[in-house]
Chains A and B, each alone.
Chain A
Amino acid sequence: MLEVKDITMRFGGLVAVGGASISVPQGSIVGLIGPNGAGKTTLFTVIAGFQKPTAGKVCFEGEDITAQPAHVRARLGIARTFQIVQPFAGLNVRENIAVGAYLRHARRADAYALADAVGHRLGLGADLDKPASSLTVAGRKRLELARALATAPKLLLLDEVLAGLNPSEIRDIIPVIHAIRDEGVTILMIEHVMQAVMNLCAHVHVLAQGQMIAQGTPQAVCADPQVIEAYLGKGAAARIQAQGAAHA
């Protein structure tokens, strides 16, 4: 469904992403992990159309969309959430979600009905009339997700929707993400919470210093020495292995 081919994103002399490729098959949940500063969010902004890549292609449902601006990609069915939540602070929760719902519904009544439905589904039912600025961090993350869902996307790009949540909040939201996928929405997610990645993703890509260093099932990727070194430093994989051997 989504094919990202050899994306390079350069800011002046800094190569934030160098030749990264990802393929996200229809109906799957694919994870994108990597240490801080690896370029995950940059890659997301390129996929969502907020930045033009220096080189490479983004294809969605077989069409090259590299030249399309963000709002056109949203219409095509790509929705993203922001790592740093971006609520419309002056509006209430219902109005926030309605902006997303208006994408496919021109009439106010339809948009608001959909906004209510999505809000209830994500557990924001009691907060619909509250100003978005009054929500807790968990509430704002849910609002990000609700707004994106209200655009009726085919592909959902989730940028650390679980970051900043406590374990019980994470437990609450994982089934929600599962349910979204089961309704036919394909998901590509950046996530640091490994519990969630293990739980949700069938396939994981690892980005480190702008390069794709590994991909595969979460279990395989976690055992990959290159991945361990990317997170813990050079030589860490060998040390861990030595320790493991010593314990055994």
Chain B
Amino acid sequence: MMLLRAYLPILILLALLAAIPLVVTSNTALNFVVFVLIITLAAQGWNLLGGVGGQFSFGHAAFFGTGAYVSAILQYSYGVNAWAALGAGILSGAALGWIIGFLSFRAGLRGSYFALVTLAFAEVLRILANALPITGGAAGMLLKLNIGFGNLQFTSRGAFLWLALGFVAAGLLISRAIADSRFGAQLVAVRENEDAARALGVDVLAVKLKAITVSGALTAAAGCLYLQYFLYLDATIAYGVWISVEVLLAAMVGGRGLVLGPLVGAFTLHGVGDLTKQVAGGIPGIDLAVYGAVLILVVAFAPGGVLGLIHRLLSGLTRPRPAKEAQ
């Protein structure tokens, strides 16, 4: 019963998203959904570390870009199969997560210091990727168009949407499982109060390392998907500040630390952004201005994000009943 209640909203949302290619034929619309799903996946990674664990990263581009580059280089320079390259990309994200975590958490970095260090890692990687020959330097890398399931390239955008949705679904299930586990409880405890967690036997360093490793893997997977969809990569795309900001915004706007937060946040943010672009199409960068405005509104009026707001409204409507939905 409790299991059903926890997983039901996830299943409904996934079913709705999976039905999109069956009813929508517009390429623009499908492009939009695929892109937002990729952002969602990357944001799920951020949300685990930043939302659940309270370790604010400002450099998740490091994982996104590393996943994408590892996958691209393996395919481009070594002719590795795309699926295997995808797996390697995800693993590289996990490994990088562990390394960054080991270096910064062991040194006791928290809060804005941790955020700055992650930003520095992403920037160093961006500069390296822009200069090294193996990443194609500033010219970037263009993957050969070679459509086929084995190459992770599809003619139909709908098929890719399902692939991306599969990853997002996996991300949701992982997040849900973590939220209900001992590891999840300890991660939240670390976010709320490290000393108290330590006193209760929580190995704070180990918990943080586990979180940043899984987080890096999820965000790296998003980088790999981005590569397979657009088949092009350069340093500004892979390691640019844009993706670090995107994932952070999506998780915060949706509802920091909540399982569905990144999904809801990414669609809200990009929905609003795209709508503004349609309405005020002539003004360049108007969607970015809207992002900023949305973030300010969320921080000021809905610290729990869109989901927190919905929850508040719902519990306001059903106030007379005794509050029993605390799970």
Contact = CB atoms under 8 A, between A and B. Distances in A.
Interface of A: 48, 50, 69-71, 74-75, 79-82, 86-92, 94-95, 98-100, 102-103, 105-108, 111, 129, 147-148, 150-151
B20 interface: no
Nearest to B204: A71
Contacts of B197: 88, 99
A188 to B, nearest CB: 15
B224 interface: no
A174 B107 CA distance: 42
A88 B182 contact: no
B185 A103 contact: no
Contacts, number: 82
Interface in B188-202: 188-189, 191-193, 195-202
B267 to A, nearest CB: 26
Contacts of A99: 185-186, 188-189, 197, 200, 202
B182 A102 contact: yes
A129 B323 CA distance: 9
Interface of B: 180-182, 185-186, 188-189, 191-193, 195-204, 323, 326
A128 B197 CA distance: 19
Contacts of A81: 199
A106 B185 CA distance: 11
A240 to B, nearest CB: 40
Contacts of B326: 92, 94, 129
21 contacts: A50-B199, A71-B202, A74-B198, A74-B200, A79-B199, A79-B200, A80-B199, A82-B195, A86-B195, A86-B199, A88-B189, A90-B191, A91-B188, A94-B326, A99-B186, A99-B200, A102-B182, A103-B200, A106-B182, A108-B185, A147-B200
A89 B201 CA distance: 18
Given A71-B202, A74-B201, A86 B182 contact: no
Contacts of A148: 199-200
A88 B202 contact: no
A241 B193 CA distance: 49
Given A99-B185, A102-B186, A111-B185, A151 B201 contact: yes
For the complex of A and B, the 6 pairs showing the least CB-CB separation, nearest first, are A74-B201, A88-B192, A86-B196, A103-B201, A99-B189, A100-B200
A220 to B, nearest CB: 33
Contacts of A100: 200-201
A227 B314 CA distance: 60
Contacts of A94: 326
Nearest to A98: B185
Contacts of B202: 71, 99, 103
Contact of B192 (A75, A91, A103, A111): A91
Given A92-B326, A103-B201, A82 B182 contact: no
Contacts of A86: 193, 195-196, 199
A106 B202 CA distance: 13
Contacts of B192: 88-91
Contacts of B181: 108
A65 to B, nearest CB: 14
Nearest to A132: B192
B185 to A, nearest CB: 5
Contacts of A103: 200-202
